[in-house]
């Protein structure tokens, strides 16, 4: 079980980082989602694995899994949703403003922005 959890964390991390390194906003968001899964699992796993021992007090329970990482991960899941939402809106805004959802700034973009400015000026003049 430990091995497959570790492999899962590894695979999710690898996939997440690969997608985060893409050049468009949307795959970056997907990558971030995968990477969040990996991180949450990683933090969760620091409490070690336990099967059938939920941290809910019970007179018959043989033991409990570690509740602290679970509490940390619970808030992390909710917060990461907030972060994803902000990121989505920012990339959406960037796309609507610039007409491209590239995450990187290149010299081509300089030209494009100069052109956009020119357009706006002519528009204003007209």
Scanning residues 35 to 94, which ones bind other proteins (CB under 8 A)? 37-38, 40-42, 44-58, 64-68, 70-71, 73-75, 77-86, 88-93
109 Cβ partners below 8 Å, 6+ apart?
98, 100, 102
* Shortest Cβ 125–other proteins spacing (Å): 16
For residues 106 and 93, give the distance between their C-alpha atoms in angstroms, rounded to a whole number.
19
Tokens found for residue 38 = 């990996």
Nearer to other proteins (CB atom), residue 111 or residue 120? 120
Q: Does 95 bind other proteins (CB under 8 A)?
A: yes
- CB of 43 within 8 A of CB of 118? no
* Shortest Cβ 119–other proteins spacing (Å): 11
Q: Does 112 bind other proteins (CB under 8 A)?
A: no
């Amino acid at each position: 079980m430990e091995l497959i959890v570790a492999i899962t964390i590894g695979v999710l991390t690898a996939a997440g980082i690969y997608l985060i390194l893409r050049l468009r906003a949307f795959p970056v968001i997907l990558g971030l989602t995968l990477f969040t899964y990996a991180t949450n699992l990683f933090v969760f796993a620091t409490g070690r694995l336990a099967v059938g021992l939920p941290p809910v007090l019970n007179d018959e329970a043989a033991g409990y899994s570690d509740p602290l990482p679970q509490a940390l991960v619970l808030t992390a899941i909710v917060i990461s949703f907030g972060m994803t939402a902000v990121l989505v809106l920012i990339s959406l805004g960037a796309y609507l403003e610039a007409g491209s959802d590239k995450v990187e700034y290149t010299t081509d973009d300089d030209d494009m922005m100069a052109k956009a400015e020119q357009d706006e000026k002519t528009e204003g003049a007209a």
